[in-house]
Structure 1
Amino acid sequence: MSFAPEQFASANKAAIEAFLTFANTAFASVERLAALNLNTARSTLEDSVATTKALLAVKDVQELAALQSSLARPGVEKAVAYARGVYEIATEAQGQFSKAVEEQVGELNKNIASVLDKAAKSAPAGSDAAVAAVKSAFAAANSAYDSINKAAKQVAEIAEANVAAATDATVKAVGAAPAKTKKAA
């Protein structure tokens, strides 16, 4: 069995397209992350200036305690929002990478199946058992890949749910803390 130059050209074109998909996804994600970091840095600087001005205006310990409790929640909420933003960017990039890999694996599977069918047609008499064994091994490998892929998606979904739950719990805990502080004072 031989491969025609068109097959090599087609394979090279597919590889270049896959590389460009990965590169574009990576650059878009880095660009979004850079914008998030820049906006967060700008917001943090503005908040620091406002906090400094508020601290300079404090006249007694009670005002300082009230100011401190009022500043804690927005800071934690902004940190949680930043973490959510980073997580969202990473999750979307991972999803796009996974989709591209799945497409490549699907195309590879079609090509291998085609090659196996051509090999079976041109195989010498009596090699049916060997061809069937190769096809069976190929089917088993695909089944294993599908199982691993499904398990990985389930793990990602569970992790995403746990991150969301932890984030919500953190925000609620910080929201409850100032109320407890006010009751104690």
Structure 2
Amino acid sequence: MSSLSGELAVASQRASFETLSDAWAHAFGCIEKLTELNLRAAKSTLSENQAIISTALSTKDPQQLFALQAKRAQAVMEEAQSYWRHLYNIMFNAQAELARSAEAQFRRQQRNTQALIDKVSNNAPAGSEAAVSALQSAVTAVSEATSATIETSKRAAEEARGIPENNGEAAASASNKATRQAVEQAKAATKK
């Protein structure tokens, strides 16, 4: 029985190391994507601000300056919405990857546990069939409960993903409408 315990400990440690390595790889991938997103946003903002300053300095009429400011406000709102959509997608995808990794690890551990139980049942002394059967039933019940929890979590995550997207679109629509109205008001004021 001690060789089974040693094999189980080594397999458990190996599985834990693989899981941790996989989680770190996903985390660093997420950090890399976030860094790229932030660098693109910073470069874009810098470039746009330089262009706006150049345009603002060449503008002679204060009304044109107000119109430029209103247009820029609309652009900033759209850029912010785009940034947050990208950020949300990066975070959701990272969470989904980690969940898939955890599920795969669970399935591997489930197979290893089943293999161990099969090995124990094959090497069990006569008269221990009831104990082996109880162990098998317990492992099966835990596996089924965990599988059901994983499936429920997946469905909940998919449903939750739609909530921020819908709310973001509604907020974007409202803010774009308000910004467009401000731009139109600024244009009307410049015509007077």
Cα distance, 1:82 vs. partner?
1.1
Note closer, same or farther for the CA distance 1:171–1:52 as it changes in structure 2 (3 Å cut).
same
Equivalent residue, structure 2, for 1:45: 46
CA-to-aligned-CA distance 1:12-39 (integer Å, 9 cap, x gap): 5544443332222222221111111111
1:3 is paired with a residue whose SS is helix
Give a deviation string over 1:79-128, Cα, whole Å, max 9, x none: 11111221222222222222221121111111111111222233334333
CA distance in 2, matches of 1:26, 1:121: 42
Distance 1:28 1:174 in 2: 33
2:74–2:176 CA contact under 8 A, matched in 1: yes
Structure 1 position 174 matched with structure 2 position 189: no
Matches within 5 A, 1:6-45: 12-45=13-46
Pairs within 5 Å for 1:49-128:
49-56=50-57, 57=59, 59-60=61-62, 62-128=63-129
- One-letter identity of the residue aligned with 1:32: K
Which consecutive unaligned segments of at least 5 residues does structure 2 have?
A: none
Q: Which amino acid aligns with 1:47?
A: E
1:3 matches 2:7 = no
Identity %: 32
Count of residues in Structure 1 that have an aligned counterpart in Structure 2 = 184
Q: Out of 126-135 and 23-32, give the one that drifted further.
A: 126-135
Following the alignment from structure 1 to structure 2, what is the Cα–Cα distance between the partners of residues 7 and 136?
Answer: 20
Residues 19 and 105 in structure 2, CA contact (< 8 A), matched pair in contact too: yes
Would the alpha carbon gap of residues 6 and 143 (structure 1) be closer, same or farther in structure 2, given more than 3 Å must change? closer
Greater Cα offset, 99-108 or 169-178: 169-178
Q: TM-score, normalised by structure 2?
A: 0.80
What corresponds to 1:134 in structure 2? Answer: 135
- How far 1:75 moved relative to its partner? 0.7
SS for the counterpart of 2:61 is: coil
Contact 2:23 2:98 in 1 (8 A): yes
Q: Which amino acid aligns with 1:2?
A: S
Residues 2 and 102 of structure 1, relative CA distance in 2, 3 Å threshold: same
* 8 A Cα contact 2:74 2:180, kept in partner: no
TM-score calculated relative to the size of structure 1: 0.82
- Rounded to whole Å, the distance in 2 between the matches of 1:42 and 1:67 is 21
